[in-house]
Structure 1
Amino acid sequence: MATAEEFFSLQRDYWDQVAENDGFDLESVSVPSSMIGRITGLIPYDCVGQLYPYPILVNLYAKAGLHRYNMLQGTNFKLASLIKFNMLQNCVSSFYMTLLAHDPADSSLEKTFQVQVDEQKYGTLDMGVSIARPKGEVTSEKPFIPHSYGGAFADDDIFKGELPDWPSDGDLKDETRFYVVKESEWRATDWIFMYLELAVCANDRSITDMRQKTEVMSQLEIVKVAIETANGDVEPPIERLKAKSANVYITFKGLEEPRAPRRLFEVGVDLERKAIVRRVIDEHTGDLKLVGKLCGGQYHKRPWLARQKREETQSCEKRARLG
């Protein structure tokens, strides 16, 4: 059995090998038998035809990495498939992902990307993307850190500190701060829905498999979107969606409140919820930080369902009297 000194020496050697590959390609990195079960290292997962943990969340993290790359490079790469990833053995982890992406406008344009995502908190959306690049490119000279606690820093004070409260209707009329995004615009902007999915999934990591994605995530429906930026004089206003620092306010339906009485849903009640997601892309490092939270909502009765429920009840009562 290895002594403490030998153990730490082996661990340093392991991390030196990992650092040579920036945490991505670990096929040639060996783990000594004396360290198995003791090393606080990276766990590799092959995603091609195999099961892996948190598939919905990990795929969203991969999309967030491509989102950062597209924001900085003016491209439009979409996730085609996740190839593999390595993650820490912590509840708050870093993910080193290798993925395949394509450009919908050019089917021949397909690239392998490397993306590093670092979670900062458990149970809420608080993550950073420190690497998002085509494989083979070197985009950072920062030393390798297994779990980065850094992140992007905004130049404007309104994007620092805690997330704001939900703006009032009066606030939203202030066009120097807010732009209410048209439905046609947010439907054409897939990262807005990705932000919502990230906020929901990070808030409840029990949403882990594809069956739950169908049952939960596919029910999400955006109602209204507003974006707050520091550059209110941008023309046309839709260009504000490209701001490197922004607070995105999303009103949505489809996520039931667990504490709500079941009878509310049986008579046809929609619950409008709210999500706030802050995006900051550091002007100096290019790092992306996403922080988000879910807010309370308001119930809205669906008259046609309530009417249908009453008609069904009256029909049953009538049949009972005739019987």
Structure 2
Amino acid sequence: MTTEVVKNTTEVVESEYFTKEDYEAWGGPSVYWDRVAESDGFDIEGIPTTPFSGGLIARNCNLMPENLMVKHYAMLGLHRYNMSEGTSFELDRLIKYNKLQNAVSSYYMTLLAYDPSLRQEETFQVRTDERKVNRLDVTCSISRPRDKKDEVSTEELPTKEPFVPHFYRCAVSDSTLFNGELPDWPSDDALNDTNRFYVLKESEWQATDWIHLYMELLLCANDRASAQRRPDFMSDLQILKVAIETDIGGMKPPNERLKANCANVYITFKGLETVPRIDEIGKHVERKAIVRRVISPGFLTLVGKHWSGKDTEKRSVTLKSGENVRRSRKRYRFG
């Protein structure tokens, strides 16, 4: 009696066990990853693999429910490209994606996007790499039109590096303000420092798509179960206030800070029933979140967290001894 075994590709093997020929076609892990590297992880159809080989899992988005986490990763890639190239591409639909068989993974997404200002449709390739579970800590390292993948962008790495299925690299800022642990929530007096902070008008943050994207990415990362199974779990989300912190206070006009490569974004919002591992206090309650953006050649990194006064209390307890100070610096080092 035979058992149908489906590989991590579109190939189906009619056998109870994989044959010698199957393993020869696979060639071992090094051969497999060399083949994956030829398309930078995006087009793996037809590449032989075997059960438990630790390769990429291929997903056809036409055959599965929408995953909000992956959708927002795709939108992050388009955001990175738009900031670099001055375009306005919007996600039309995800076509497929490949991911590792890990809780923390890299995602290799192929998607269709449209720029209404250019009246142009493009197929894009976007790669994101996660660094933490149940927390927003993600780097977009590739975002490009598929038919231009061999062209060098000014924002890409200066030299092509060896393919690594999952790495923990990230964008690094030249300013200490945007390295290390995320800051505490600024006081009202601090927000009055216009050289450091810019408090957005409601019309500004409503018209700034990436603010909503960052907030929704944080919520998806913090509640992956809802992102996978409840596509409407953010339907009542309301952003109430937004402030952005940069180190380019002399730039005029102030709203130009929205384009800064490095920024801490402070968002007050409501509309969630609960925030897993944080609270269960209902949709009507105002909550706070902090998201950091750092862009450096080749990378866009977002790190975010929900904030409460307890964060400061925990930190003050942790930093009582010199030994704990050193451990904290090591633990929270960003980059």
Q: Distance in 2 between matches of 1:88 and 1:147?
A: 8
Of the candidates 106, 113, 116, which is equivalent to residue 124 of structure 2?
113
Q: Residue 166 of structure 2 corresponds to which residue in structure 1? A: 147
Of the candidates 197, 207, 217, which is equivalent to residue 178 of structure 1?
197
Corresponding residue SS for 1:58: helix
Q: Residue 167 of structure 1 corresponds to which residue in structure 2? A: 186
Q: Residue 30 of structure 2 corresponds to which residue in structure 1? A: 12
Q: Is the 8 A contact 2:266 2:288 kept in 1?
A: yes
Q: Residue 284 of structure 2 corresponds to which residue in structure 1? A: 270
Q: Distance in 2 between matches of 1:130 and 1:253?
A: 31
Asked if residue 93 in structure 1 is aligned to residue 105 in structure 2, the reply is yes
Q: Residue 115 of structure 2 corresponds to which residue in structure 1? A: 103
Structure 2: where are the runs of 5+ without partners? 1-18, 310-335
Q: Is the 8 A contact 1:125 1:292 kept in 2?
A: yes
Q: Distance in 2 between matches of 1:146 and 1:260?
A: 37
Q: Residue 62 of structure 1 corresponds to which residue in structure 2? A: 74
Q: Residue 294 of structure 1 corresponds to which residue in structure 2? A: 306
The C-alpha deviation readout for 1:101-148, integer Å capped at 9, x for no partner, is 1012243x0001000000000010000000001103234512110002
Q: Residue 51 of structure 1 corresponds to which residue in structure 2? A: 64
Corresponding residue SS for 1:143: coil
Corresponding residue SS for 2:264: strand
Aligned residue pairs, count: 278
Rg comparison, structure with higher value: 1
1:125 partner letter: L
Corresponding residue SS for 1:213: coil
Compute the displacement of 1:90 (Å): 0.0
Q: Distance in 1 between matches of 2:184 and 2:26?
A: 47
2:178 partner letter: F
Compute the displacement of 1:157 (Å): 0.8
Asked if residue 201 in structure 1 is aligned to residue 214 in structure 2, the reply is no
Of the candidates 218, 225, 230, which is equivalent to residue 235 of structure 2?
218
Corresponding residue SS for 2:134: coil
2:144 partner letter: R
Compute the displacement of 1:296 (Å): 3.2
The C-alpha deviation readout for 1:67-110, integer Å capped at 9, x for no partner, is 11111111111101100000000000000000011012243x00
Q: Residue 177 of structure 2 corresponds to which residue in structure 1? A: 158
Corresponding residue SS for 1:231: coil
Which of structure 1's runs of 4+ aligned residues deviate more than 6 A? 5-8
Q: Distance in 2 between matches of 1:30 and 1:209?
A: 28
Structure 1: where are the runs of 5+ without partners? 298-323
Q: Residue 143 of structure 2 corresponds to which residue in structure 1? A: 132
Q: Distance in 2 between matches of 1:295 and 1:28?
A: 46
Q: Is the 8 A contact 1:101 1:111 kept in 2?
A: yes
Q: Distance in 1 between matches of 2:285 and 2:260?
A: 30
1:189 partner letter: T
Asked if residue 25 in structure 1 is aligned to residue 43 in structure 2, the reply is yes
Asked if residue 254 in structure 1 is aligned to residue 271 in structure 2, the reply is yes
2:211 partner letter: I
Q: Distance in 1 between matches of 2:295 and 2:228?
A: 30
Residues 46 and 7 of structure 1: is their aligned pair in 2 closer, same or farther, counting only changes over 3 Å?
closer
The alignment's TM-score, normalised by the length of structure 2, stands at: 0.79
1:129 partner letter: C
Q: Distance in 1 between matches of 2:29 and 2:99?
A: 17
Q: Residue 321 of structure 1 corresponds to which residue in structure 2? A: none
Residues 235 and 110 of structure 1: is their aligned pair in 2 closer, same or farther, counting only changes over 3 Å?
same
Q: Distance in 1 between matches of 2:74 and 2:109?
A: 7
Q: Is the 8 A contact 2:246 2:264 kept in 1?
A: yes
Q: Distance in 2 between matches of 1:235 and 1:255?
A: 36
The C-alpha deviation readout for 1:219-259, integer Å capped at 9, x for no partner, is 11000000000101111111100000000000001123465
Of the candidates 105, 123, 130, which is equivalent to residue 134 of structure 2?
123
Identity in percent: 54
Q: Is the 8 A contact 1:256 1:271 kept in 2?
A: no
Asked if residue 243 in structure 1 is aligned to residue 260 in structure 2, the reply is yes
Q: Distance in 1 between matches of 2:280 and 2:225?
A: 19
Compute the displacement of 1:8 (Å): 10
